[in-house]
Structure 1
Amino acid sequence: MKHNTPVTDREVLMKDNTILVTKTDLKGKITFANDDFIEISGFTAEELIGSDHNIVRHPDMPVEAFADLWATINQGKPWRQLVKNRTKAGDYYWVEANVTPIYKNNNIEGFLSVRYSPSRDEIRCSEQFYDQLRNHKATIRPSGFFEKINFIKRLSVKNKLIISSLFFLVPALLAILWVVKEKNMIIEFAQQEVLGTEYHIAFTGLLLHIGDYSGISNQNIKIDTSAVEQIRHIIDADITVLDSLDTKYGEILKTSQAWRAIKQNWVTLSTENTTLLTAEDIYQKQSKFIESLYTFIGELNDHSNLILDPDLDSYWLMDMNSIKLPELVERLVFLRSYLALNYNSQLLTEKQKIDLMVKYQLAQTLFDKATESAAKATHYNDTVAAAVSVKRASFESVVQQYLKDIRSNLIEGESTASSSEQYFNAGTKAIQSVENLYIVGENSLKQLLENRIHKVEQEKWELLAIVFTLLFCNYSA
């Protein structure tokens, strides 16, 4: 067995409400690790991906435990056990490991490991058991069992029947209660996702309105100042809604501190005297603020499980709505604002063309990724496909045309037929098409998650009903 060094006596505790997730191939090489696993392990993603999973193995773990793991999962069965892992620095941390095979075309193609934080009592029991295992005082699969129950032969027929029923009843009850525990974890996980979805919808509205504010406040677009004031009032209304949501969910989603910073930065940006600033200075300040909004969305996704969902019917929908569409909107906002600042129905300079090309390529790349996620989201869920098909088609058509016009007319060609306002309006239309798809997708996601919670809760209560029935029948007997 691989012996990783150094080791220390320092324990690292898993953060509250975190789940450590990894995937491996059939040989145990890591193919995916989520951010929480990377953080607690102390290794970088580059060090983990492609390495054997035993890179985090602690020397205190007996070889028999991992032999049992591989024997179990290679048979296509799930494996659950407490495991002591080692960080890169040599510290240790305990996890409740749940390892299951990943199937493709009825064949095992790898393994998924999902880890939760165990209780201190579970850790103490595991430490004692593993110590006995290392000293050959215990085995993973107990032997000599039937020799230990020879006393049953001396019991009456009635007592034998009672004990026999208990041998079947107790494991059945424990198995059902374990499944109920798993159901509760699924429910809690999905409830966190629903909260994140609700927050996400409101925050994306703010993000889009900030993008509009950035575009129309640019000096090269001649719009009545009342339009700027109007969008400020809309943003203030968005902030009021988000204040209410953060009061309810901020502690759970760990957003309160970052949200307060965003509000303060908006006050600074919107009240700053810009008469002494150049248009480029204003653009850079607004761009920096918009980037902070997308950083916030990333943190919100992490804390609300919106990038961890293991079910394909919702995974790609979350990927589209929580990651790809917001990233695309960010690039379209920057592209629209850049043109509003630099293009005034005149040919662009070579430097401006290069800058525009970079922004265009980023937007085009994210558009391609968003389109791919949208296709997979509809492929794996017929209900989602029916709900988003119209908005998806409009989104792909409008955004593709907007980017095509920029490439053809401003980057590859030298056309000045369209005015700055026309490009701004076309960019606004493209962003609006993304927003329309996002709203339909987010509503579909919320409904999907609520249906999942309802279904799992129903399954949980059915299992508990079985438990009570078994107990009643045994008691009556």
Structure 2
Amino acid sequence: MLKNLKIWQKLLLASVVFLPPMGYLLYVGVQGINYDIRFSQWEIYGDRYQRPLERLLKTISEHGFLTHQYLDSKSDDLKKALRAKEAEVDAAFVELQAIDKELGEALQFTQEGLLKRNRVHTQVKNLLPEWTDLKGKEDSITAAASREKHFHLAADLRSMITHAGDMSNLILDPDLDTYYIMDVTLLALPQSQDRLSSVLMDGYDILKAGGEISSQDRTKLAVYAAMLKEADRERVFTSTNTALNEDKNFYGIVQSFHLDIPLALDVYGDKTKFLIDMLNDIALSPSTTITPAEFSKAGTAAHQASFEFWDKMVASNDALITDRLNGLRKQRLMTYAIAGGSLVLAILLFVFITRRVARDSAA
């Protein structure tokens, strides 16, 4: 049968035989790129969902410490500060409700999705009643109950942060630069921010009592200092510097990351170190000249700096992932261009050969 085919028919048959495997290879290659694009896009969804969670973690912690101070002094100024802080918490809840409506189902913040991971309580609809139970109750709650309720709400928020990281691929980031940024924004800083809330309240209580500080309390403050230094500050520095160093090895350097982050890291590091040094100073001796107000100022500054650094790091993470997305889209476009160009070249070559053969046969 093949002997009876004309030259152009034989060439066409050869092309048809090779087209399916070539088309399949193109399909597999493009599907792989599309997977990476979807994977990266979900990471940006995770960052978006985490933003209002971090704002709530910050404002609720601040509300807790303000309540703790108010219960000690019954100051009118602190009561006004509590009303202002409650407005900030309410605004953060509005943001969370909006992003949950948009992305909550996709990130499995559903009854079924949370139940599978033993996190069924951590839904926005469950957090709101917890907040309502705290809002405006500073005159009818004990210090111990206030602390417990604020810390429970913060723990729920951290569980939601963890869930958002798990379901959005952030925890599985494939590139070393963005992986180490994720370690800071999803793990290290939320852990440190939670610890700082405890440090603020415990340190304030120990200092306001006056007199000699017991060896038990000094040990507690020394442990806080060690944890803030080794588990929090050093981890943040190590992961951030690794991310800065690795950035050049992937989709090119993002200038804003290298310009903004080192400065912000220094600010965070200095304020955290100042608090750590203060904790160590108090822990060294039964007596201290550091006042509760001075300690509160240093602790609040470190707490604030951790959230400011988080904001800059998550913005950098989005910038680096967007840079990766642009690179992947260019790669996909290039794949289509090479495949299309190859097909056009093959068609032109086919036409040229068949015409040449036909001309030679006629001669």
- Quick check: TM above 0.5? yes
Report Cα offsets for 1:336-361 as digits up to 9, x if no partner.
12223332162333333344344343
Whether the 8 Å contact between 2:225 and 2:277 is mirrored in structure 1 is no
- What is the count of residue pairs matched by the alignment? 325
- 1:359 maps to 224
State the distance in 1 between where 2:272 and 2:58 align.
16
Within a 5 Å distance, the mapping from 1:313-324 to structure 2 comes to: 313-324=177-188
What secondary structure, in the 3-state scheme, does the structure 2 residue paired with 1:356 have? helix
Q: Residue 403 and residue 356 in structure 1: after superposition, are their counterparts in 2 closer, same or farther (change >3 A)?
A: same
The amino acid of 1:372's aligned partner reads T
Deviations 1:194-230 (A, max 9, x none): 1111121222111111111111111346553111111
Distance of aligned partners of 1:349 and 1:270 in 2 relative to their CA distance in 1, 3 Å threshold? farther
User: 2:147 corresponds to which letter in structure 1?
Assistant: Y
Give the alignment of 1:98-109 within 5 angstroms: none
Do structure 1's residue 184 and structure 2's residue 34 form an aligned pair? yes
Deviation at 1:164, TM superposition (A): 3.1
Alpha-carbon distance, 1:469 to partner: 4.2
| Alignment partners' CA distance in 2, 1:256 and 1:161 | 58
SS in 1 for 2:171: coil
Aligned residues of 1:345 and 1:420 also touching (Cα < 8 A): no
Q: How far is 1:436 from its partner?
A: 1.9
Equivalent pair of 1:379/1:385 in contact (CA under 8 Å): no
Counterparts of 1:341-360 in structure 2, within 5 Å, are 341-344=205-208, 346=210, 347-360=212-225
The higher relative CO (CA closer than 8 Å, separation ≥ 6) is in 2
Secondary structure at the aligned position of 2:169 is classed as coil
Indicate which of 401, 420, 434 corresponds to 2:274.
401
Alpha-carbon separation, structure 1, partners of 2:153 and 2:96: 17
- Residue 72 of structure 2 is aligned to residue 225 of structure 1: no
Query: C-alpha distance in 1, partners of 2:236/2:245?
Result: 14
Report if the CA contact (8 A) 1:309-1:315 is conserved: yes
Q: Do 2:2 and 2:10's aligned partners in 1 also have CA atoms closer than 8 Å?
A: yes
Shift in Å, 1:407: 1.3
| Shift of residue 152, structure 1, vs aligned partner | 6.4
Match of 1:75 in 2: none
Matched residue SS, 1:432: helix
Over 3 Å counting, the alpha-carbon distance change for 1:375 and 1:224 in structure 2 is same
In 1, Cα distance between the equivalents of 2:6 and 2:286?
100
Letter in structure 1 aligned against 2:260: A
Residue matched to 2:330: 458
* Residues 361 and 220 of structure 1, relative CA distance in 2, 3 Å threshold: farther
Q: Which letter does structure 2 place at the counterpart of 1:316?
A: Y
What's the counterpart of residue 237 of structure 2?
Answer: 371
Distance of aligned partners of 1:395 and 1:273 in 2 relative to their CA distance in 1, 3 Å threshold: closer
Instruction: State which drifts further: 213-222 or 226-235.
Output: 213-222
Q: Structure 1: give runs of 5+ residues left out of the alignment.
A: 1-150
Q: Which residue identity lines up with residue 385 of structure 1 in the other structure?
A: H
* Equivalent AA in structure 1 for residue 215 of structure 2: E
State the partner residue of 1:24. none
Q: TM-score, normalised by structure 1?
A: 0.63
Q: Distance in 2 between matches of 1:315 and 1:235?
A: 30
Which whole-Å CA distance do the structure 1 matches of 2:308 and 2:137 have between them?
A: 32
- How far apart are the structure 2 equivalents of 1:207 and 1:154? 79
Q: Equivalent residues in 2 for 1:40-189 (5 A)?
A: 156-189=6-39
Larger strand percent: 1
Aligned to 2:160: 296
Q: What is the alpha-carbon distance in structure 1 between the residues aligned to residue 67 and residue 6 of structure 2?
A: 91
Select the structure that is richer in helix.
Answer: 2
RMSD: 2.4
Give the C-alpha shift of residue 473 in structure 1: 5.5
**Counterpart code for 1:320:** V
The residue that corresponds to 1:128 in the other structure is none
1:332 Cα deviation after fit: 1.1
- TM-score by length of structure 2 reads 0.82
Match of 2:308 among 436, 445, 457: 436
Give the counterpart letter for 2:213 in structure 1: L
Q: Distance in 2 between matches of 1:176 and 1:440?
A: 39
Shift of 1:154: 7.7
Partner deviation per Cα, 1:10-63 (whole Å, 9 max, x = no partner) = xxxxxxxxxxxxxxxxxxxxxxxxxxxxxxxxxxxxxxxxxxxxxxxxxxxxxx
Which amino acid counterpart does residue 327 of structure 2 have in structure 1? Answer: K
Q: Is the 8 A contact 1:274 1:282 kept in 2?
A: no
1:237-291 residue CA offsets vs partner (Å, 9 max, x unmatched): 111111111111111112255222222211123255763x432232222222212
Cα distance, 1:157–1:358 mapped onto 2, change above 3 Å: same
In structure 1, C-alpha distance between the alignment counterparts of 2:340 and 2:23, rounded to whole Å? 9
- Residues 7-26 of structure 1 mapped to structure 2, 5 A cutoff: none
SS, match of residue 380 in structure 1: helix
Shift of 1:193: 0.7
Answer yes or no: is the 8 Å Cα contact 1:329–1:434 preserved in 2: yes
The alpha-carbon distance between structure 1 residues 419 and 256, as it changes in their structure 2 partners (threshold 3 A), is farther
Amino acid at match of 1:359: Y
Alignment partner of 1:199 out of 19, 25, 49 = 49
* 2:120 is the alignment partner of 1:254: no
* Letter aligned with residue 64 of structure 2: S
Q: Equivalents in 1 of 2:343, 2:286: separation in Å?
A: 82
The equivalent position to 2:132 in structure 1, one of 244, 261, 267, is 267
Q: 1:152 to 1:217 in 2, by over 3 A?
A: farther
- What is the CA–CA distance in structure 1 between the aligned matches of 2:238 and 2:219, rounded to whole Å? 27
State whether structure 2 residue 186 is matched by structure 1 residue 336. Answer: no
CA distance in 2, matches of 1:308, 1:391: 26
Q: 2-side partners of 1:413 and 1:162: how far apart?
A: 91
Distance 1:313-1:301 versus aligned 2 partners, 3 A rule: same
| Runs (5+) with no aligned partner, structure 2 | 112-122, 248-252, 352-363
